Amino acid sequence: MAYQNPSSNSISDLEAPQIIPTTPTTSTTTPTTKLSAQVVANKVKNNLAFHSKWGELNGAMGDLGTYIPIVLALTLSRDLNLGTTLIFTGVYNIITGAIYGVPMPVQPMKSIAAEALSDTTFGVPEIMAAGILTGGVLFVLGVTGLMQLVYKLIPLSVVRGIQLAQGLSFALTAVKYVRKDYDLPKSKALGDRHWFGLDGLVLAIVCLCFIVIVNGAGEKNHGCCGDPSVEKNDDLGGQSRDEGARNRTGKVRKVIFSLPSAFMVFVLGVVLAFIRRHEIVHEIKFGPSSIEVVKFSKHAWKKGFVKGTIPQLPLSILNSVIAVCKLSSDLFPGKDFSATSLSVTVGLMNLVGSWFGAMPSCHGAGGLAGQYKFGGRSGGCVALLGVAKLVLGLVLGTSLAHILRQFPVGILGVLLLFAGIELAMCCRDMNTKEDSFVMLLCTAVSLVGSSAALGFLCGMIAFVLLKLRNWTMDKPLSTIWMQKSPEQV
């Protein structure tokens, strides 16, 4: 039927140039632009959507065990602008939550912070110079695709070794916070902690037990009650009465297991901070801190690079990008993560904020594990934390340090302990003896040498040697060295 009217086809072909206007190009691109913007908006909305209101709120507390001690110590000992740091890290939290859709943490760069706390001449200009240079290197590694190549080449056993070392390091530090009377600004223990008091050992133990009862070992399903298979096993008399009792018990358990334990413990710490020192109320000054551009000297750039950037780079590459990328894919298989995007976001954070005095920041596997442990499942978790930081930075500014200084250190230790344990438990998928050997070797060297780079190097060497050993296991030496086939020998 289509070939019965050729004249109509020829007429339509001739008239086609006359009826096609010059504006369809813009009219088709405009809906496309609107459609792409709508897709992005929907993705951001989905990434920030709460899976559970109390769970996301509780998960937001999982990163504070590492964030508060470092930022507070630098604020009190090196005059870090706490208000500026809160504002910028709050914005980082909101943006990363919207981009990734998971509780992606924003933590201070630990190696740079450790150098600043141990060297009195390593001041704010040196800290910020180290952050800018570290961010610049990570940004270049990300945009060139080299970071993704590194991620593909590093074996899983070495990554697990780094995660285990970081997790155990967090856990050991947490135990020190609980057992010892710790001075955060000076980062030193003052002696054994007293058993009783507003920051006593008993308080920390009670908080620890409370979180264990509510959260358990991190099971996915806390509702251990109401299982129909359990209810049907009782066929004795008075079944309806027993069933009613079980239902009441089940409701109580459901309420207990759904409590935001970390959030409640943190609120308790804030209340105790005001009780410990009533004068805090008079020391608080409302209003944001002034944001100023940091002035750098040539000496600050040089010292920041040598003592800050060089030690920080291996830790940032391994723990902030590689380990976080692997842990994210483990915890959230449905999400698409790349080492490239993580490296770029870490780089941009420091290339922007460090110029204005915000503490150099990065992602961290420990923070992600801690937030996941306490219920964080979406980007809304860290976005909520970011809004809280932003509000505190704008309303209280640096005066917030007076409150945090009185915060019970033992409670911070409890929060940090669970984050460290959750991160260390990621290594439980190492099933072969060779993988376990490489992982534990990497962990041991990292912990004893206090260097993730040294542990990584030893782990890679051990991995290569084991692969060479397996490759040469069934081959004669002449086959290996003379490059002859077994038939020629």
Question: What pLDDT score was predicted for residue 477?
Answer: 54
Report whether 348 contacts 137 (CB < 8 A): no
State the Cα–Cα distance between residues 71 and 359, nearest whole angstrom: 8
* DSSP per-residue string spanning 84-111: HHHHHHHHHHHHHHHHHSS----EE-HH
* DSSP per-residue string spanning 99-162: HHSS----EE-HHHHHHHHH-TT--HHHHHHHHHHHHHHHHHHHHTTHHHHHHHHS-HHHHHHH
Question: What pLDDT score was predicted for residue 302?
Answer: 93
The one-letter amino acid at 51:
H
Question: What pLDDT score was predicted for residue 238?
Answer: 56
Question: What pLDDT score was predicted for residue 218?
Answer: 63
DSSP H or E stretch at residue 483: none
Residue 107 has φ and ψ, to the nearest 5°, of -125, 155
Question: What pLDDT score was predicted for residue 10?
Answer: 43
Question: What pLDDT score was predicted for residue 117?
Answer: 82
Low-confidence ranges of the chain (pLDDT < 70): 1-35, 186-187, 218-248, 250, 450, 474-489
Question: What pLDDT score was predicted for residue 229?
Answer: 41
* pLDDT tens-digit series, residues 141-189: 999 999 999 888 888 888 888 888 888 888 888 898 889 887 777 667 7
Question: What pLDDT score was predicted for residue 1?
Answer: 44
pTM of structure: 0.77
Question: What pLDDT score was predicted for residue 348?
Answer: 95
